[in-house]
Amino acid sequence: MTLRNLFLFLSLMLLAPLAAAELVVVANPRSGIERLTQEEVANIYLGRYRLLASGLTAEPVDLAGDIVLKGRFYRALVGKNLAEINAYWARLVFSGRTRPPHASENVEAALQYVAARPGALAYVDRARADRRVRIVFELSE
C-alpha cells in the first residue's frame, strides 16, 4: 500500500461518518435509467431483477476491496450485515442459477466498469461520482 493510499484510507476512516450521507448509486448514462427506487436497487443487487427498466441486463458491481463501503451500502440498503449477505449468496451460488454482483477491487475500477457497460450499476461516494456516470439513487444511512 502506498503512502497515498494509506493516507486516503485513514482519511476515509476518519471522515467516514461525515461522508456517510454521500453514498450514491451510479449507472451508465446510456443505460436509459434516470432514477431508481431503493427497492429496485435492492432487487437488482440481490439478484432478483436481472433486467433494468429499460430492458438492459442489470450488471451490479460490488466493491470487494472496500469492505467498509460495501458494509455501509448493504446496511443502508437492506439492513443486513456483510456476513448475512455472504450467506445469502452462498445459497444462491450453490444452485448456480443466480450469480452475485461483479466484484471490483476499488472505486476507480468500479467506475470504469460502469462507464464501459450500459447496464452496469455501482455504489460510490458522491464525491467520486464524475461525468462518466449518472447518479440514479442516493442512499440515506
Partner 1 sequence: MRGNVHWWHGILARSLMAVVGIALLMGGVSSLLVNQVVGERAHRLALLKLGELLDTVESTVSIAAFVGDEQLATEVAHGLLRNGEVLQVTIRGNERELVRAERAPLRVVNGDALLLMTGPLPKVGAGETALPAVKRLLYSPFKAGEVIGEIRLDADQGAITARVAGATRFISLLLAGQLILVIAAAAVAMLYLVVRPLKATSDRLHRLDAASGERLAVPESHAKSELGRLVGDINNLTARLVATIGIESDLLRQQVIDQRKYQDLFDKAAAGIFVADRDGRLESFNRTFAALTWLQRRKESTGRWLADAGWQAPERLLALLRDALADPTGKATRADDFLLVGRRGDERWLHVAVTPLGDGNVQGTLTDVTERRNEEISTRRLATTDALTGFANRAGLQHALAEITPHTPPFALVMLDLDGFKRINDALGFAVGDQLLMGVAGRIRKLLDARDQVARVGGDEFALALVGEQSRVALAARIGQLLRVLAEPYDVSVAGKHEQIDIAASADIAFFPPMATTCRSCCAAPSWRSTACRRPAAAVSATSSPPSNWRSSIGGALKTTCVMRWTPANCIWFFSRLLI
Give 80 or 102: the residue with its C-beta nearer to partner 1. Answer: 80
CB of 107 to partner 1, least distance (A): 25
CB of 84 to partner 1, least distance (A): 9
CB of 75 to partner 1, least distance (A): 12
Query: Which residues contribute to the site for partner 1 (CB under 8 A)?
Result: 39, 42, 46-48, 78-80, 88, 91-92, 94-98
> 122, exposed or middle or buried, with CB in 10 Å at 0-12, 13-18, 19+?
buried
DSSP state, residue 65: S
Give 93 or 109: the residue with its C-beta nearer to partner 1. Answer: 93
Give 70 or 126: the residue with its C-beta nearer to partner 1. Answer: 70
Q: What is the DSSP string of 77-101?
A: HHS--HHHHHHHHHHHHHHSSS-PP
Q: CB of 111 within 8 A of CB of 128?
A: yes
